[in-house]
Amino acid sequence: MNIILLGPPGAGKGTQSDHLRDAYGLTKLATGDMLREAVAAGTELGKKAKDIMAAGGLVSDDIMIGIIREAIRSASKSGFILDGFPRTVPQAEALDAMLKEEGKALNHVIELKVDDEALVARISGRFSCAKCGAGYHDHFKQPKVAGVCDACGHTEFTRRADDKAETVAKRLEAYHAQTAPIIPYYKAKGALTTLDGMADIGQVTQAIDALVS
Ligand code: AP5
Ligand code: MG
Ligand code: ZN
């Protein structure tokens, strides 16, 4: 099963793709996570991406398509979830071409629809485990024991460098201008399901499970 999770910054793509990975054994391919790892490791890719991400812009299509081509080849036999890719129409077209080459197909393209005002609240309260990356929120998803990661027991957490208010505004602009046009692209193919991403985390998970299982 191969799935794309689409939606603006803070829509819940990371939260729900973790669930899909754990519940269905899919490989999670999250381009934002890959880029943040490259920035932290100081690789060539990281050096190219660092300032673009900090400014809330998009890394070039050529670079992103190259990364995903490799990642899709090494995905598990059960399939993959794309979180954060494609993000432009050229990326969506390149994905179609590479899936065809690999003899793979998309089973679901899921759009999580969330109002811009809610996104700012979600992003400004987000933090994650410094060791395993599990995601949390100051109000909407606290660890079961305060200060301790549910998944690995670690006690240090981090916040993303691009989650500052002014950068979030730029990321939202980039979403509406460059990413939203892929929604009609998938709608025209009859592949798109739009879900209410304003619902609680558990309700969104249930809606996704009802669709894919
Ligand atoms: P990326 O890491 O993909 O960031 P994003 O798209 O801005 O999305 P986020 O990760 O901020 O949000 P999310 O939808 O994953 O939400 P989450 O589940 O965490 O990309 C970062 C940057 O990398 C880009 O700006 C760009 O520069 C670059 N990049 C990446 N891919 C690229 C590409 N293909 N091409 C070019 N450039 C690329 O949820 C947010 C918070 O809300 C969490 O705290 C969570 O607990 C909480 N929450 C989740 N769901 C709910 C809910 N239903 N109710 C209440 N709270 C909720
Ligand atoms: Mg994310
Ligand atoms: Zn952890």
* Closest among 57, 65, 83 to 177, alpha carbons compared: 57
Ligand 1 atom closest to residue 137's alpha carbon, by position in its atom list: 44
Is the beta carbon of 52 within 6 A of some atom in ligand 1?
A: yes
- Check whether 173 has a pLDDT greater than 90: yes
Residue 174 CA: which ligand 1 atom is closest? 25
CA 158/CA 10 separation, integer angstroms: 16
Q: Which residue's C-alpha comes closest to atom 41 of ligand 1?
A: 122
Instruction: Clarify whether 69 is annotated catalytic.
Output: no
Distance 97 CA to ligand 1 centre (A): 25
161, 143 Cβ separation under 8 angstroms: no
Instruction: Give SS3 for 4.
Output: strand
pTM of the model: 0.95
Region 47-75 average pLDDT:
96
Element (H, E) at 89: helix 89-102
**Residue from 4, 20, 137, 162 whose mutation best tests the ligand 1 pocket (most atoms within 8 A of CB):** 137
Q: Check residue 35 and give its pLDDT.
A: 97
For a substitution probing ligand 1, which of 31, 50, 111, 167 has the most ligand atoms within 8 Å of its CB?
Answer: 31
The yes-or-no verdict on residue 165 having pLDDT over 90 is no
Say what the alpha-carbon torsion angle 144, 197, 125, 168 is, to the nearest 10 degrees: 150
| Structure confidence at residue 174 (pLDDT) | 97
Asked whether the predicted pLDDT for residue 65 surpasses 90, the reply is yes
Which residue is closest in CA terms to ligand 1's atom 26?
A: 58
Among the atoms of ligand 1, which is closest to the Cα of residue 87? 34
Beta carbons of 40 and 50 less than 8 angstroms apart: no
Whether residue 31 has pLDDT greater than 90: yes
Among candidate residues 90, 85, 94, 81, the one with its CA nearest the CA of residue 32:
85
pLDDT, residue 79, reads 96
Average pLDDT over the chain reads: 96
What spacing in Å lies between the alpha carbon of 133 and ligand 2's midpoint?
A: 11
Distance of alpha carbon 160 from alpha carbon 41, whole angstroms: 15
119-143, pLDDT tens digit by residue? 999 999 999 999 999 999 999 999 9
Alpha-carbon distances of 126 from 55, 57, 86, 134, 156, rounded to whole Å:
19, 20, 23, 11, 14
- % of the chain beyond a pLDDT of 70: 100
